[in-house]
Structure 1
Amino acid sequence: MPEFIIGARGHDFGRHTPEELLTSIGKAGFRCTQLAYTKAIEDVKSYADITPELVEATKAAVAASGVSIAVDGTYVELSYADEDKRRAEVAKVLSQIPVAKALGAGCMGSETTNMAKQPGVTRKEAQEALLRSLGEILPLCEEQGVLFAVECVYYHAMNTPEAVKMVLDTMASPNLRVICDFANYVGPENASVDAQRRIWDQVGSWYGDKIAAVHFKGQNFQPDGTLYSTSLEDSCVDYAGGFAMLKAMPQAALPVLREEAVPARAASDIAFIRRFCI
């Protein structure tokens, strides 16, 4: 069974210097973080603002706080069918691969583009764009020894276990990994525990050994199917089934990152998450 290391998404703590941010995360009781510079670090408006000095300050903050960088969060749109837009997004990732390496991040991570962002584009076209993007990103990741993880999201280009398996099989890269957010596999039509258990069986058997990080958040659905965020206690997500799958995986350790963290609720959230990790 992997060791589950409970952490939090950095930008849920606001924008700070690296020292202030990681100190706050550590004091809240979390041991690791998903760091997105453009969302969590003050004065960083674009990837061009991430200087070698800032990276060194981040490394010093990691050492001082004991809070490791589980995921270097690169919020990019890898599935744009428009080639100029897609290449611009890929360029952002390529610029950050040396940063992730310098930080010793567990992996880089990105979602795969909300389908609502490009009306008229089919999911097949979006997935083909995703494959082109990964084909440009993964060679440098392999050269630099950096893992790159993509995240399945119900309403994005890569939206089901079948789609994840297709991407992994097609790319066949030793450096391609998956971020597993249980909530992001669940829609109103598959929110029952039985339906979710079938999803976890697919995830575990098809690519569970490729999971590099886990996201943990609460959600539920209105009677009309509208998604809304909840506390962890009020979520419809089958955490017990998901973690039963994870416990059978061969990874030595897995970061479990609280998304939508409220620092004042950190202690109760950590206690809730820990129930599934033992």
Structure 2
Amino acid sequence: MIRTIGNRAHDFGKCSASELARRISEKKLESIQLALFKAIEDLDPSVPIKIEQLMQIKSEMDKENIKIAVLGCYLNYGHLNENIRKKNIQVFKEHIDYAKILGARVVGTETGAFRDDFKFHPWNHSEEAYQLVKTSLMEMVNYAEEKKVDIAIEPVADHIINTLQKLRRLLDEIDSKRIKVIFDPVNVLTYENHHEQQKIMDKAFSLFKDELLIVHAKGYKCNGEDIVEVPPDLGDLDYGHLVELIKSSPQKIDILLENVRPEKLYKNIKFILG
């Protein structure tokens, strides 16, 4: 079932928490994915955020009844440089602490890649890469369990956790009820499999019926052999099929739009819901 419909907070621009809450409320959205350093001005990414700052952000969102569905911390947890990898893990742990104060539903992330720009490299899909990111995630999950906060993993075709099956393996091997799933259908589509998009959606809701809490909503077009991201209403994703799966799910699912300018939100929400 649909819990809320929202958008990425930084798509409204970087501003104060009060102004951000006003802009979101103006569009009558119910939830956001919040990347703190992309969306909120006057935060220094080189130092931990103060409790007072977090409480102010939460207060402004609460005034407008805006839920933080995802607190985003999208860093590279499979980085081959151990110092960078450890630093990224530490930042994620800090976000777990932030989520506790902000009341975020999950701390969300992708898993990482060989290249700093997250583009495809053959190593990403190796067993070595899988084991490296699994080790990172186990440390992050242990901290999440200690703090009683849920985290959510988003598979991406070019990244280390690149398929639904590999994500299922990861969840089974780590075996923690604190791991949830963010499903972005476009992120797991390739030129080779996009014509099977309905089967892929079905598989996601079957494999993760207990863990799938967040759906990212954007569109895609094929440009030669490349998958190009576009707003939902300009793409070829079958939203009729996706929304039926969401409505039939036993979980309360937040739908978060991507690649949509604020002035185009109403049009795209109408398109998604049919």
- TM-score bracket for the superposition, by shorter chain length: over 0.9
In the alignment, is residue 180 of structure 1 matched against residue 186 of structure 2?
Answer: no
Gaps of 5+ in 1: none
Q: In the alignment, which residue of structure 2 is the partner of 1:35?
A: 34
SS in 2 for 1:48: coil
Residue matched to 2:226: 226
Map of 1:201 onto structure 2 = 202
Displacement, 1:3? 2.9
C-alpha RMSD of matched pairs (Å): 1.7
Q: Tell whether the 8 Å contact from 1:31 to 1:66 is kept in structure 2 after alignment.
A: yes
Structure-1-length-normalised TM-score = 0.91
TM-score under structure 2 normalisation?
0.93
Q: Distance in 1 between matches of 2:21 and 2:130?
A: 35
Instruction: Indicate how the Cα distance of structure 1 residues 88 and 219 shifts in structure 2: closer, same or farther if over 3 A, else same.
Output: same
Report the counterpart of residue 138 of structure 2 in structure 1. 135
CA shift digits 1:48-92 (9 cap, x unpaired): 252112101111111211111111111211121332221111000
How many angstroms apart in 1 are the aligned matches of 2:269 and 2:258? 12
Tell me which residue corresponds to 1:216.
217
**Offset at 1:209?**
2.0
> Which secondary structure state, in structure 2, belongs to the residue aligned with residue 229 of structure 1?
strand
Could you tell me which residue of structure 1 aligns to residue 128 of structure 2? 125
Aligned residue number for residue 151 of structure 1: 154
Equivalences, count = 270
| Off by >4 Å, runs of 4+ in structure 1 | none
Q: What is residue 165 of structure 1 aligned with on the other side? A: 168
Give the 3-state SS of the residue equivalent to 1:247 in structure 2: helix
Q: Distance in 1 between matches of 2:124 and 2:8?
A: 31
What is aligned with 2:245? 245
SS at match of 2:161: coil
User: Conserved in 2, the CA contact under 8 Å of 1:12 and 1:261?
Assistant: yes
Which amino acid in structure 1 is aligned with residue 123 of structure 2? V
Higher relative contact order, structure no. (Cα contacts within 8 Å, ≥ 6 residues apart):
1
2:268 match: 269
Stretch deviating more after TM superposition (227-236 or 113-122): 113-122
Once the 2 structures are TM-superposed, how far is the Cα of residue 232 of structure 1 from its aligned partner? 1.6
Query: Taking every aligned residue pair, what percent have the same amino acid on both sides?
Result: 30
Residues 1:47 and 1:75: Cα distance change in structure 2 (over 3 Å): farther
What secondary structure is seen at the aligned counterpart in 2 of 1:42? Answer: coil
1:215-238 Cα shifts (integer Å, max 9, x gaps):
10111111x212323232221222
Q: Secondary structure at the match of 2:107?
A: strand
Amino acid at match of 1:12: D
Structure 2, unpaired ranges of 5+ = none
